[in-house]
Structure 1
Amino acid sequence: MKTLFAFLCAALLFAASAHAQQTQPLERIAAVVNEDVILQSELDRAVQNIVNQYADRQNQLPPRPVLERQVLERLILVKLQTARAAETGVRIGDAEVDTAINNIAQQNNLSPDQLRQQLARDGMSIEDFRSSLRDEILIQRMRQRFAQSRVSVSDAEVEAAMTSQAGATQYNLAHILVALPEGATPEQIATGQQKVDGIKGLLDRNEMDFAAAAVRYSDSPNALEGGSLGWRSLDEIPVAFANAIRSMSPGDVIGPIRGPSGFQLLQLVETREGAQATGGGTVTQYSARHILIRPAEGASGDGEAKARIDTLRARIAGGADFETVARESSDDTVSKDNGGDLGWFTQDEFGPEFGGQVAALQDGQVSAPFKTQAGWHVVQRVATRQTSVDDENRRAQVRESIGQRKLEDEWDRYLREMRGEAYVDIRSGDAAQAGSDGG
């Protein structure tokens, strides 16, 4: 969980959105988003929150109409994501929100009362904070489910990446995007080209630094973060940029280059050498397969899930093939098509409850049904092996890096599809000139 300051920065837009439920319905509407609305007062508060964050560097902010458009787009995406989460059955209970708040307070060495006082000084009520935290957890949970169903990283991908990255240079990058709509007309392309050339001219003449230009002009969702893309190895960089980056020095900018989303400028911020493998101890890894049954919503959901897992365990005890039962019945969409195969993992990789069950088994043995936060499981341990601690740590980091990169790409595409399919009627200020769109 984030520190209080970091969370507050991330939660500002959520807080603005959550406050809408407590506002009088006669307020002016900034945008209609499907069956929901964003009030002008929400937008104004969210914009002011951003302005407050940039109090000591106001010159980095874009003109007010541009900032309003950027913030409104973020609010629209928040509305769409929380609505989609609700539609797909993602729920966040009060107890989970209470736990998250307590964790934030403890990590910042605050008591609950001190947290309330800190929030009040930052202009946020505890009710708005709870609502914003609930929305953030809701979206995080939806991203996790999305990752489980859409993103997988094979052992071959990890091994290939480790080979290519051993001792290789890594690059910290930032970008500026001048977006183009799908099926852009020649006039729209020409306008985008003119805009990106103008931005590049400002950078070439040192009239603005790259991060400030990203905040002011980029159409990317990370514009207000200065366009930061973080650290990437060469094989994680689009081919259009990769060859040029090898010969760049920190601070250099390349582009504009036309891509699927529009025109891009890319800056090399800094470089570092990739991690080298070193000696160390060993760690036990397990190969296992499992069957997961997720409880349905409602008071009877857990009991029904337990009854289902008991039935499946009895079938396996009676001679049914574990992999076949997993393909037919498991709710784990990532592993079920592979017969519940989880690959190689360390004991705590899937949580202490799951790891403890696997560690207690013998190779080939099947556990009794047990419960974790994900639901009810039975697990079959397949094999064990010893591997270098350093190699395993690096392998886990590489797997996470590949998974995160895939998730970013897939999630961005998913958000664009969601945005494109939604009915959005923008009514606020200059942004209203863009009109309504719907899917």
Structure 2
Amino acid sequence: MNRIVPTLFALVLVVAAPLLRAQALPTQTIDGIVAVVEEDVILRSELDRAVSNIRNRFVDRPEQLPPPEVLEKQVLERLIAQRLQLQRAAAAGVRISDAELEQTISRIVQQQNVSLDQLRAQLARDGVTYEEFRSQLRDELTVNRMQQTFVQSRVAVSDTEIDILLARDSEAGSEVRLGYLLVALPDGATPEQIDAARTKIEGVRGLIERGEMDFSAAAIRYSDHQTALEGGDMGWRAIDEIPPLFANILPTMQPGEVSQPLRGPSGYSLVRLIEKRDDSAPQTVTEYHARGIMVRITELLDADKAKAKIDAARARIVGGEDFAVVAREVSDDTISRNQGGDMGWFQVNAWGTAVANQMMALSDGEVSEPFQSEVGWHIVERIGTREQDVTVEARRNKARETIAKRKADEEYDRFLRQLRAEAYIDNRLAPPAPLPSAPATPTG
């Protein structure tokens, strides 16, 4: 069986560093504390488990991992960042219910095409109990929800912004996959810190340019960004989702090329253009025109009586009565009833799954058999279909998402830096020893 990886939530099992609580640890182990985060602690055993999960990901390519002490530092930073976010989420009242958690697990097993028993078996082989997995997944969902809430409260996109983007976007539909490596600078960095960061980023680029290390391995070893342990891979992004600092240099770059060091608000960066693709072809969708009658199930009209009523309505229509007359008399759908049941033109899922299934099965002019949805019993008549060009609408929707994503990334990155700056953090992990290197080569 293929390895089970719940990709929906950032590979929470084998990719994201797990946050195993003290009570889930073997009681016979005497744990040391590697970090204090406000009033919480991160234990040595938690860090060891998280590092072990990362090593499992690179079992076939261990040479890409940094030295053990550097890897520990990176993983601990990720644990600290996640713990801070969980603490803020708890203070804000963000909670994930047991029902939501179970629904998420159901989606994971469906997407991975495995059973729950198979998932449990894979977890056991990875040395993770099912309860630990649930706890990790709940934490991941909690952080995701807090991020969504934060972004919704901070990010707005106006029609004017969309118009400006579409007017100046000479590469509409273009998307790029980027690698990103950051040497971070603190707020109010001193000249000495700036010089050290610039020397380090130049040394990293030198390693890559000389072929001593590929970009992914360099990001894993040296990047201070949250994508470090993914080799800096930021995935596919629309051109305008990318900060202008990076977007402005991309037109001159070829796939595989690495930028010169760039100074931004977070520090010094390198960007690698991995791939580029174009998705600007015209977009069309099938739209349906239909009429419908719905008999609602209520406390006074149970499912059997509703079914009998819709059967009678269909019999009248098949017998020759006008659909619109019967709809105005019988239908409980207040949206379409006054139009004689006319539902207008719509995309297939606009009226729900039950109606969608009928639309795809019927021919033009055909009246369906009675069918049930979550609200009642229905009949529909498919009047016609058409192919509708939605390119303009799709471009505007994509532009809105692009602007929102870019703003969200910037706002949340700023929020995380502020969160860490204001928190009490006692990192008790010994700093990594400097790595031997040539002049101008980074030292970790």
Indicate whether the TM-score tops 0.5. Answer: yes
> Which structure 2 residues correspond to residues 304-383 of structure 1 after superposition, within 5 A?
none
> Does 1:22 find its partner at 2:27?
no
Shift of 1:171: 3.0
Cα 1:184–1:414 shift into 2, 3 Å: same
In the TM superposition, what is the alpha-carbon distance from 1:164 to its structure 2 partner? Answer: 3.7
Structure 1 pair 15–207 and aligned structure 2 pair: CA distance change class (3 A): closer
* CA root-mean-square deviation: 3.1
Give structure 2 stretches of 5+ with no counterpart: 290-345, 354-387, 435-444
Q: Greater CA deviation, 7-16 or 31-40?
A: 7-16
Map of 1:38 onto structure 2: 42
C-alpha separation in 2, matches of 1:98 and 1:242: 40
> Which of 230, 241, 246 does residue 235 from structure 2 map onto?
230
Uncovered stretches (5+) of structure 1, i.e. residues with no partner: 285-345, 354-386, 434-439
SS at match of 2:431: helix
Aligned residue in 1 for 2:399: 398
Cα contact 1:40–1:428 (8 A) shared by 2: no
3-state SS of 1:172 partner: strand
Output the CA distance in 2 between the equivalents of 1:348 and 1:84: 41
Q: What is the letter of the counterpart of residue 270 of structure 1? A: E
The aligned residue for residue 259 of structure 1 is 264
Provide the residue aligned with 1:418 in structure 2: 419
Query: Residue type matched to 2:50 in 1?
Result: A
Shift of 1:274: 4.3
Which deviates more from structure 2 when the two are superposed, residues 37-46 or residues 245-254? 245-254
Paired with 2:393 and 2:405, the residues of 1 have a C-alpha distance of 18
Per-residue deviation at 1:388? 4.2
Equivalent residue for 1:130, pick from 121, 126, 134: 134
Hey, what does 1:381 align to over in structure 2? none
Aligned match for 2:115, one of 99, 104, 111: 111
Secondary structure of the residue aligned to 2:273 is: strand
Distance 1:63 1:228, change over 3 A: same
CA gap of 1:43–1:145, structure 2 versus 1, over 3 A, is: same
The residue aligned with 2:88 is 84
Q: Structure 1 residues 98-107 or 31-40, which shifts more? A: 98-107
Identity rate, percent: 50
Q: Which shows bigger deviation, 257-266 or 20-29?
A: 20-29
On the 8 A contact 1:105/1:111 being kept in 2, the answer is yes
Instruction: Say if 1:32 and 1:424, in contact at 8 Å, map to a contact too.
Output: yes
Give CA-to-partner distance per residue, 1:295-350, whole Å, 9 cap, x none: xxxxxxxxxxxxxxxxxxxxxxxxxxxxxxxxxxxxxxxxxxxxxxxxxxx99999
CA-to-aligned-CA distance 1:172-225 (integer Å, 9 cap, x gap)? 222211111112122212211221111111111111111111111111111111
Structure 1 residue 196 and structure 2 residue 201: aligned?
yes
Q: Is the 8 A contact 1:27 1:39 kept in 2?
A: yes
Task: Indicate if the aligned counterparts of 2:69 and 2:433 stay in contact, CA closer than 8 A.
Answer: no
Query: Which has the higher mean CA deviation after the structures are superposed, 193-202 or 23-32?
Result: 23-32
* 1:53 pairs with 2:57: yes
Give the C-alpha shift of residue 273 in structure 1.
2.6
Q: Are 2:216 and 1:211 equivalent residues in the alignment?
A: yes
Distance 1:279 1:33, change over 3 A: closer
Contact 1:4 1:105 in 2 (8 A): no
Q: TM-score, normalised by structure 1?
A: 0.70
Contact 1:280 1:388 in 2 (8 A): yes
Q: Is the 2:283–2:394 contact (alpha carbons within 8 Å) kept by the matching residues of 1?
A: no
Aligned residue identity for 2:390? V
Which residue does 1:181 correspond to in 2? 186
Which string of whole-angstrom CA distances, capped at 9 and with x for unpartnered residues, describes residues 131-159 of structure 1? 01111111111112112211112222233
* TM-score, with length taken from structure 2: 0.69
The Cα of 1:390 is off from its aligned counterpart by 3.5
Hey, what does 1:270 align to over in structure 2?
Answer: 275
Q: Which moved more, 1:423-432 or 1:273-282?
A: 273-282
Q: Alpha-carbon deviation of 1:41? A: 0.6
Task: Tell me if the contact between 2:283 and 2:390 (Cα under 8 Å) persists in the aligned partners.
Answer: no
3-state SS in 1 of match to 2:86: helix
Quickly say closer, same or farther: Cα 1:231–1:164, change in 2 above 3 A. farther
User: How far 1:30 sits from its partner (Å)?
Assistant: 0.6
How far does residue 277 in structure 1 lie from its aligned partner after superposition? 3.2
2:163 to 153, 159, 162: 159
2:89 is paired with a residue whose SS is: helix
3-state SS in 1 of match to 2:213: coil
Q: Secondary structure at the match of 1:249?
A: coil
Deviation, 1:106, is 2.5
When structure 1 is superposed on structure 2, of 51-60 and 232-241 the one drifting more is 232-241
Larger radius of gyration: 2
Question: How far does residue 397 in structure 1 lie from its aligned partner after superposition?
Answer: 2.8
The answer to whether residue 96 in structure 2 is matched with residue 63 in structure 1 is no
- Please tell me whether the aligned partners of residues 18 and 131 of structure 1 are also in contact (alpha carbons under 8 angstroms): yes
Q: What SS is found at the alignment partner of 2:421?
A: helix
Contact 2:86 2:143 in 1 (8 A): yes
Contact 2:241–2:405 (Cα < 8 Å) also in 1: no
